[in-house]
Amino acid sequence: MDIYQKIWDADILEGNGVKSYRKDQQDSGELNGVLDKTKGYVIVDEEVSGKNAKVITEVVIPPSKIETYDLCRRLFNNYILDPGERDQISSFEREEEREFIEAILSTKPIQIAKEAVGRNRGRALTDIEFALAIEEAFFFQGKAGSKNASGFEHVFVGEQKDIGEKPDDIAVELGGYHFWYKYFLDDGGKNSTMEFPDRISYGKSEYRGPNASQGILVPEVITLSYTWRAPEFDNNGNLTDKTQLLNKPIGGFWVGCSPEGLVALSMVRLLVGLSDTVINNARYKLKLFSLGNNRNSIRTFYPEFRGISVDRGSSSSGTDGRGASGTSSSLLKKDVVAEEQPEVKGDLVNIAAALVNASGDETGKETVTLFNASSEPINLENWQIIAPNGFVFTLTDTIIDPGDFLPLRMMANTPQFRNKAGSIALLDADNVVQSRVKYTKAQSAREDIFISF
């Protein structure tokens, strides 16, 4: 398993992270019986518009998970906005940093990251060694060009880019700000004890590249533009009567990961160096820059969404998996899988079988098996499988040899295949339907049975 996926699963499924879902799933009733307040969850709506829109509409973090979020939040007022001034971190604030590191050190995501860094270095690291590495990575203050900087300030808090005091009604570009929970609080969210003022004005979704339209389908990541009326603190951590309007033309963050989950992902990227990953079926380029005068310290770290893919793996119904969620969005090709469409068998690649009803929790267990009916190997890059609910799964660089079968898991947060009559389509990179199959209600009623087409 990819190390970043391993950290993510440890955080969301076993740790203090909370699972994310889309608002349209909630509105359609798809999440009835799924949302669990004892485990927590986040609801994301990237199809909203207007400056007062809430992209993160609901957050539930149970008391059993909130400690590290609160310890992280205590650090936010340790920094001043002007990057030209060095933050004067007091002994009390240093103790806050140590308490935060101590609280996250024993968590599973951090321990997995520690083991990965140790393997990369050829020896196991002690907890003390890794705690010092986290401190250096996030709390070392150094130079980034002409500016004073630290990783925690840039990644978790955000800072103005221009040096010097600015009129509070003049928008200055915002740097960093890649922690979803802080965005939620600044957008008028509530934590366990208080409601925060709404300081965010939403712009719009800002996904870029050939797979931009897929971004809103993945609730684990948000890419957007916005302005933030940031409060200003003095070097003693006291709130002043000043604010600064900061503008983020494009920015983003993962959603649902705990503070330690984000730290763990960052530490692997910084000290191991792996820059490409697939988390929950979404492909990312992990962007990281270290401080100019200390390569073991983070300047910034954030995910750049690259698209959705499916997982090439076992066709066993017991295969585990988590992934991006489905949608009823009009952006998808629901007309291709409409029930009145005829079945299609092409000369290249066909849908040979599907597991549409796995026993127990079906999440991530549904599969589609493809067959290469041609006499040549075929690269399935940018081919698409369209589920009965209209969700589009895009394949990455995958070769299927002539006469071969290729099982693919439909990794998703919720099941995508109806346990009633439905249809599945396969489109090539030019959006030409290569195969379309239908299954009946009687076929889908049987658990753990592969339907042959």
pLDDT per residue as tens digits for the range 116-132: 999 999 999 999 999 99
Q: 286 and 315 share a domain?
A: no
Look at residue 109 in the predicted model and tell me its pLDDT.
98
Q: 63 and 187 share a domain?
A: yes
Please state whether the predicted TM-score (pTM) of the whole model is above 0.85.
no
**What is the C-alpha separation between 151 and 183, in angstroms, rounded?**
17
* The last residue of a domain, from among 308, 334, 351: 308
Task: Concatenate the DSSP letters of all residues of 128-193 into one string.
Answer: HHHHHHHHHHHH--EEETTEEE-HHIIIII-EESS-S---TTS-EEEE----HHHHHHHBT-B-SS
pLDDT exceeds 50 at position 12: yes
Task: Concatenate the DSSP letters of all residues of 233-291 into one string.
Answer: E-TTS-EEEEEEEEEEEEEEEESS--HHHHHHHHHHHHHT---EEEETTEEEEEEEEEE
Beta carbons of 200 and 174 less than 8 angstroms apart: no
Q: 387 and 409 share a domain?
A: yes
Q: Find the mean pLDDT for residues 217-231.
A: 95
Look at residue 312 in the predicted model and tell me its pLDDT.
45
Task: Give every CB contact of residue 92 below 8 A, 6+ residues apart in sequence.
Answer: none
Name the residue with higher pLDDT: 400 or 85: 400
* The last residue of a domain, from among 265, 292, 308: 308
Our count of domains for the chain comes to 2
pLDDT exceeds 70 at position 282: yes
Q: 46 and 129 share a domain?
A: yes
Beta carbons of 197 and 191 less than 8 angstroms apart: no
Q: 68 and 210 share a domain?
A: yes
Q: CA-based Rg of the chain, rounded to a whole angstrom?
A: 23
**By C-alpha distance, which of 347, 348, 344 is closest to 386?**
344
Q: 291 and 318 share a domain?
A: no
Look at residue 330 in the predicted model and tell me its pLDDT.
31
pLDDT exceeds 90 at position 26: yes
**HSE-up of 3 (CA within 13 Å, CB side)?**
23
Q: Find the mean pLDDT for residues 242-258.
A: 96
For the beta sheet containing 19-22, the strands, ordered from the edge strand earlier in sequence to the opposite edge, are 19-22, 41-44, 56-60
Distance of CA 291 to the CA centre of its chain: 25
Look at residue 316 in the predicted model and tell me its pLDDT.
30
Look at residue 337 in the predicted model and tell me its pLDDT.
53
Instruction: Kindly report which listed range (115-129, 172-186, 306-320, 336-350) carries the lowest average pLDDT score.
Output: 306-320
* The last residue of a domain, from among 250, 281, 308: 308
Q: Find the mean pLDDT for residues 238-261.
A: 95
Name the pLDDT band for 20 (thresholds 50, 70, 90).
Answer: very high
Q: 90 and 194 share a domain?
A: yes
Look at residue 310 in the predicted model and tell me its pLDDT.
62
Q: 32 and 102 share a domain?
A: yes
Q: 275 and 368 share a domain?
A: no
Q: 300 and 319 share a domain?
A: no
Look at residue 321 in the predicted model and tell me its pLDDT.
28
End-to-end alpha-carbon separation of the chain, Å? 31
Q: Find the mean pLDDT for residues 219-243.
A: 92
* Structural element, H or E, at residue 426: strand 422-427
pLDDT exceeds 80 at position 230: yes
Domain span at residue 349 reads 311-452
Look at residue 317 in the predicted model and tell me its pLDDT.
29
pLDDT exceeds 90 at position 323: no
pLDDT per residue as tens digits for the range 155-167: 999 999 988 888 8
Q: Find the mean pLDDT for residues 203-224.
A: 91
Name the pLDDT band for 146 (thresholds 50, 70, 90).
Answer: low
Name the pLDDT band for 413 (thresholds 50, 70, 90).
Answer: low
Q: 291 and 335 share a domain?
A: no
Q: 235 and 332 share a domain?
A: no
What CATH number does residue 383 fall under?
2.60.40
Q: Find the mean pLDDT for residues 271-288.
A: 92
- What mean pLDDT is reported for the chain? 87
Name the pLDDT band for 36 (thresholds 50, 70, 90).
Answer: very high
